[in-house]
Structure 1
Amino acid sequence: MLNRRSLLATATAAGLAAPFGREAFAAALTPVAMPAPGLYETNEDAYWAGLRKQFLMPADLVNLNNGTVGSSPRPVLKAVFDSYELTEQMMQDAPEDYPIWGYGPWPEFRKPFADLMGARVDQIAMVRNCTEANSFVGNGFEMKPGDEVLMSDEEHGSGIAPWELRAKRYGIVIKTFAMPKPPKSPDEILNRINDAITPRTKIIFVSHISTNTGVVLPAKQISALARSKGIVSAFDGAHAAGMMKVDLNDIGCDLYTGSMHKWLFAPKGTGFLYLRDDSIINRVWPTTVTHSWDDLTLKAGRYQQFGSSNIPTMMGLNASIALAQSIGIERIEKRHRQMADYLHAEMMKRGAESWTSPDPAMRCGITTVNVPPVSRMELETWLWKNHKIRIRGGEPSKLRLSTPYYLSKADLDRFLEKFDAFRKMKGIA
């Protein structure tokens, strides 16, 4: 068990407790009871309020920017701290057993996540973030000069950059299609993809959930369209893990990447790469390697042969998965949709332009609106500096509002109240 007093003493001696705050450091290590098992059925609001207490964020902080990074709750932090205390004693059983991962198969970390995501262990590689996973795909997928990758105009920088590097270095071609703002139906997106395909299209690389707008793309239909034309399908799923139920083998895609530090609340530095079967593994070269990278019997495991990494981070990941499973991913998804739908409707009442979708099935935990002439950065700074409300968006007037399950309706109403106050202060009708 973690010795809180000794850990505090160590942190103080290292000069860590002073800037972080001794009380805050102690609070991070203090267990808080989970909501009673039957509370959800009798009082949903009290259930989610109980889960809010698992997070170290101050009670008056409203985090509407979970889409950038989540906060790891107490059970995750405890798993990390406990693992450090255990592993750094260097008392592992075998003489060649060290407190690092990044060399071996480590099924004890891959299986819980594979189970959560509807995949097999041999289809999942644990990497350090979605950017790394995207780089494996962009730099490793076999292509010739002139071959095309097709992507949307809403991809994240870490999804675009590996292909830009590949284009500059090896002459492949990046082709984009414009996402509707907002898409009214999945067919609108499918038609735009279909119209942009050419005989040179080798791979379709799009987000499962758009980081720009929060639109949930029709991943299963896109995968089927690609397969019907002999094209590989790949998805950036940075927002999907922990936000909604995902069954990767049911989707039928060839490749899928993601991070766990957003909606699953895992430690920072956790990501994954999914490869459907041997046919795609044989077409994607590992690009960060140590020994065993060319052992095809490892299947997806060959993509996690990248050298020394952090065992406590993986223990925290397992704790985050266990927490999500104890709540129920279907219950979590339902909560995300309820909160996002409420916030979306309230922003529509205020004259905002929706960039997510009028179709509730095409959004989950993120709603994005355009609110001209409000200056996004001015509003973002004002909300944070004056009211401890954190949002994200884009210039000049786009607001991307994330609604993680621990937020309450009162939190959302507080944001709406301050948004109205800001507009009034600026003389905006």
Structure 2
Amino acid sequence: MLDRRSFLGSAAAASIATPLGAEALSSLPLPASDMFGKDPDGYWKALRGQFLIPTDVVNLNVGTVGSSPRPVLKAIFDGFMDTERMTQARSEDYPIWGYGPWEEYRAPFAAFMGARTEQMAILRNCTEANSYVANGFDMKPGDEVLISDEEHGSGEMPWMLRQRRYGVVVKKFALPKPPKNAAEILNRINEAITPRTRIIFVSHISTATGVVLPAKEIAALARSKGIVSAFDGAHAPGMIKVDLNDIGCDIYTGSMHKWLFATKGTGFLYLRDKSVMDRVWNTIATGGYDDPTRMADRYMQIGSSCIPTLMGLNAAIALADQIGMDRIEARGRMLADYIHAGMMERGAESWTSPDPYLRGAIATVNVPGVQRMELQDWLWTNHKVRIRGGNPSKLRLATPYFMSKADIDRFLGLYDQFRRTKGLA
């Protein structure tokens, strides 16, 4: 293990060998759009070159964190070079901008998500957005929030904190593993609703299994009963095409650093209209938090912020738009189906829904007898393949668009090898 002095010495040596940012800033042309029709494999291979991930590394864990490609990194570096010159035109402009409406960043992302600018607040991550909702939603002791048993800690724990401090009730329903269809999920939610239910808070895409919940139908069910609908969309932006105003939900949170490959430290909070905003108190406050005319912008008033990260976000949106979300979504699903089929051939138990409507770019399987952490560590330490899952034997396999079938075949072959070494084959 490196101590601090050794780490600083090795870092200094590395910086001398390779100028900071030189690799990220080196330009590689994006493939022409018409290349997809002529040579689809070549098209995706060219996009793979936009990522700094070494060619011998396979990342099947985009569900935790994505890797920002060259156009995003260049936008970030250029942003820092511009802002840190301190030559902004107006006397009140500084690199720590944090009190303006940021419409040049909110508008592109809102459009990308099927929302209007005034409905969108850009925050630092999904955890912050979820905490805004759980801490700020107007509730009394005894009022219930209904969540699933597959929520991420950043979605569940803010509500558990609210329960401990203020006596609201966190009620859970169990998602089927896997759900056969949307009706099965809707029935479970409907059966769990009580007269005390004030808000339904569930993931759009389950972090545990990758199941794509029927968000539009859940929002309609909640609306029919006078209940607020809120979704944790940490996995959705950049994996599937999202139209928030078509979904019809009241609240939606998420991250951009996973499947959209934007800067780490970017998240968002969507609120449908003023009637919803009037029910969600700010829990971070500075000047402007109490101005209702600012709409969702008032939830962005969190003080000094890192504007170059938002410049990177704009570049990530531009890249996704250039590729096309329909194309990205289809590619991710195809690769997930491919790896899922490979695991089924190897006797795995599927936690991935058989309904195509409930599938995205994550395949989740259970492999009894295989210790997930042992396999995970073995794959990375010995073969530079990243996976993640849950103990004891769940594997969550995420398939970003730049992955190849050869990458997946490599994982499957290594999985077979591991099982042989453990006498499980």
TM-score range, shorter chain: over 0.9
Following the alignment from structure 2 to structure 1, what is the Cα–Cα distance between the partners of residues 252 and 201?
9
Alignment of 1:49-128 (within 5 A): 49-128=45-124
* 1:133-176 CA-partner distances (Å, limit 9, x unpaired): 00000000000000000000000000011101110110000000
RMSD: 1.5
Q: What residue in structure 2 maps to residue 254 of structure 1?
A: 250
Following the alignment from structure 1 to structure 2, what is the Cα–Cα distance between the partners of residues 178 and 269?
31
Structure 1 residues 23, 354: CA separation in 2 closer, same or farther (over 3 Å shift)?
farther
Following the alignment from structure 1 to structure 2, what is the Cα–Cα distance between the partners of residues 21 and 277?
53
SS in 1 for 2:23: helix
* Superposition deviation, residue 100 in structure 1: 2.4
Q: What residue in structure 2 maps to residue 131 of structure 1?
A: 127
SS in 2 for 1:65: coil
Percent identity, aligned pairs only, is 68
* 1:361-415 CA-partner distances (Å, limit 9, x unpaired): 2111111100010010000001001111000011000000000000000000000
Unmatched 5+ residue regions in structure 1? 1-11
Task: Indicate yes or no: 2:328 matched with 1:369.
Answer: no
Letter matched to residue 92 of structure 2? E
Alignment of 1:2-401 (within 5 A): 18=14, 22=18, 25-401=21-397
* 1:85-104 CA-partner distances (Å, limit 9, x unpaired): 01000000100011223311
Following the alignment from structure 2 to structure 1, what is the Cα–Cα distance between the partners of residues 221 and 230?
12
Following the alignment from structure 2 to structure 1, what is the Cα–Cα distance between the partners of residues 243 and 233?
12
Q: What residue in structure 2 maps to residue 6 of structure 1?
A: none
* Superposition deviation, residue 20 in structure 1: 9.6
Q: What residue in structure 1 maps to residue 4 of structure 2?
A: none
Letter matched to residue 187 of structure 1? A
Following the alignment from structure 1 to structure 2, what is the Cα–Cα distance between the partners of residues 101 and 204?
35
Following the alignment from structure 2 to structure 1, what is the Cα–Cα distance between the partners of residues 11 and 104?
35
Letter matched to residue 166 of structure 1? R
* Superposition deviation, residue 356 in structure 1: 1.8
Q: What residue in structure 1 maps to residue 5 of structure 2?
A: none
Following the alignment from structure 2 to structure 1, what is the Cα–Cα distance between the partners of residues 323 and 309?
21
Letter matched to residue 191 of structure 2? D
Q: Is the 8 Å Cα contact of residues 219 and 249 (structure 2) preserved in structure 1?
A: yes
Q: Is the 8 Å Cα contact of residues 233 and 255 (structure 1) preserved in structure 2?
A: yes
Following the alignment from structure 1 to structure 2, what is the Cα–Cα distance between the partners of residues 20 and 73?
23
Q: Is the 8 Å Cα contact of residues 17 and 25 (structure 1) preserved in structure 2?
A: no
* 1:211-230 CA-partner distances (Å, limit 9, x unpaired): 00000000000000000000
Letter matched to residue 310 of structure 1? C
Q: Could you state the TM-score of these two structures normalised by the residue count of structure 2?
A: 0.96
Letter matched to residue 152 of structure 1? S
Structure 1 residues 20, 421: CA separation in 2 closer, same or farther (over 3 Å shift)?
farther
Deviates more, 1:23-32 or 1:247-256: 23-32
SS in 1 for 2:145: strand
Structure 1 residues 179, 426: CA separation in 2 closer, same or farther (over 3 Å shift)?
same
Following the alignment from structure 2 to structure 1, what is the Cα–Cα distance between the partners of residues 197 and 330?
37
Q: Is the 8 Å Cα contact of residues 341 and 360 (structure 1) preserved in structure 2?
A: no
Structure 1 residues 139, 336: CA separation in 2 closer, same or farther (over 3 Å shift)?
same
Letter matched to residue 206 of structure 1? V
SS in 2 for 1:233: strand
Q: Is the 8 Å Cα contact of residues 209 and 217 (structure 1) preserved in structure 2?
A: yes
* Superposition deviation, residue 27 in structure 1: 1.5
SS in 2 for 1:205: strand
* Superposition deviation, residue 360 in structure 1: 2.1
Letter matched to residue 271 of structure 1? G
Structure 1 residues 13, 295: CA separation in 2 closer, same or farther (over 3 Å shift)?
farther
Letter matched to residue 330 of structure 2? K
Q: Is the 8 Å Cα contact of residues 263 and 404 (structure 1) preserved in structure 2?
A: yes
Q: What residue in structure 2 maps to residue 9 of structure 1?
A: none
Following the alignment from structure 2 to structure 1, what is the Cα–Cα distance between the partners of residues 80 and 115?
29
Q: Is the 8 Å Cα contact of residues 204 and 214 (structure 2) preserved in structure 1?
A: yes
Letter matched to residue 371 of structure 1? V
Q: Is the 8 Å Cα contact of residues 33 and 323 (structure 2) preserved in structure 1?
A: no
Letter matched to residue 198 of structure 1? T
SS in 2 for 1:309: coil
